[in-house]
Amino acid sequence: MTYVTSLDTEDHAVSDEQYEEQIEFPFESHHNYMVRRLKEEETKSEMVDHPPHYKEGEIECIDYLEDSLGKEGFAFYVEGNIKKYVHRWRHKGGIQDLKKAKWYLDRLISREEM
């Protein structure tokens, strides 16, 4: 089959092979797009709930701090982080900072309910 393309009012005939070579699809398939978006969301969630840079070694950093600071010291530490993330969310981390503040608040609430 031969296709005719128009460029600046000149007609150009191209074969099937040439036509297929010219076509580039810059779009990914819907399935690949959804898989990529799911991985991005999982990564965002990890960055809030359990950032990989805080999970080095045998114990997660937050658990170490909770154990070493004691109940009162840990409560002050967590409160400070809540204030930090709420304070900076508009200028630095956006929604992710609000989620971090919520994560610390939930941690503080569960710790205080013990």
Angle subtended by helix axes 95-112 and 30-49, to nearest 10: 50
More confident: 16 or 3: 16
Bridge partners of 10, per DSSP, are 7
- Let me know if 105 is exposed, middle or buried by CB neighbors in 10 A (0-12, 13-18, 19+): middle
pTM over 0.85? The answer is no
Q: Residue 65: what pLDDT?
A: 92
Residues with Cβ within 8 Å of residue 71, at least 6 apart in sequence: 111
pLDDT cut 70: percent of the chain above it:
62
Q: Model confidence over 47-89: pLDDT tens digits?
A: 777 776 666 677 888 888 999 999 999 999 999 999 999 999 9
What values do phi and psi take at 6, rounded to 5? Answer: -110, 125
